Amino acid sequence: MGAQARNERIAELLEPVLVKAGLDLEAIELTPAGKRRVLRVVVDSDQGVDLDTVGEVSQDVNEVLDASDVMGEQAYVLEVTSPGVDRPLTLPRHWRRSRGRLVKVNLVEGGDLTGRVTESDDQGVTLDAKGRPRTLAYEQIAKAKVQVEFRREADTDAAD
């Protein structure tokens, strides 16, 4: 079985478990690690993912995988995790979950734009770029990522 077919089969097996837990499957990554493999299952939700949820879902995912032959005989380590801030924004739900966050967008036409996500829907996103709204259709975006902010202006205002 090829890597893509295996990942699709894993996704089919895990989808019902994740939907029941209120989670979206963001990615499946299977990588070699010595004599074992690491299966990383990346999940997310509109409310985020806490450690208790990851623990519960890990057990359910493990049971589903153990009951299946999809992983074959070679040993593997299962990691269920949430996406990091460096995850590319590729789907409308990623933009919705990034409302209020600072993002850097590389445009298809060239150049880039940095702004805070103010609105998004299935067609595009509106950014506050230096105090001016800028609406982009997703087709205009070549690549986008959330920017790490250690101290936002709103955070400092709340502390005063």
pLDDT tens digits for range 19-31: 999 999 999 999 9
DSSP state at residue 83: P
The whole-number pLDDT of residue 46 equals 84
Is residue 82 very low, low, confident or very high in pLDDT (cuts 50, 70, 90)? confident
Secondary structure (3-state) at 32: strand
Range with the poorest average pLDDT among 32-41, 72-81, 109-118, 148-157 = 148-157
The whole-number pLDDT of residue 155 equals 46
What is the rounded radius of gyration, in angstroms, for the C-alpha atoms of the chain?
Answer: 19
The whole-number pLDDT of residue 134 equals 95
Computed over every residue of the chain, the mean pLDDT equals 89
The span from the CA of 55 to the CA of 71, in Å, is 20
The whole-number pLDDT of residue 154 equals 54
CATH 3.30.300.70 maps onto the chain at 3-81
Task: Tell me the average pLDDT across 121-148.
Answer: 95
pTM of the model: 0.72
Question: Left, alpha or beta for 36 (phi > 0: left; psi -120 to 50: alpha)?
Answer: beta
Residue-wise pLDDT for 83-128, tens only, equals 877 778 999 999 999 999 999 999 999 999 999 999 999 999 999 9
Is residue 4 very low, low, confident or very high in pLDDT (cuts 50, 70, 90)? confident
Residue 158 in this model has a pLDDT that exceeds 60? no
The span from the CA of 35 to the CA of 22, in Å, is 34
Most trustworthy range by pLDDT among 42-56, 127-141, 146-160: 127-141
CB burial string 24-52: b at 16+ within 10 A, e below:
bbbebeeeeeeeebebebbbbbeeebeee
CATH 2.30.30.100 maps onto the chain at 92-159
| The CATH classification of domain 92-159, taken from the options 2.40.110.10, 1.10.10.10, 3.30.56.10, 2.30.30.100 | 2.30.30.100
The span from the CA of 36 to the CA of 31, in Å, is 9
CATH topology of domain 3-81: GMP Synthetase; Chain A, domain 3 (3.30.300)
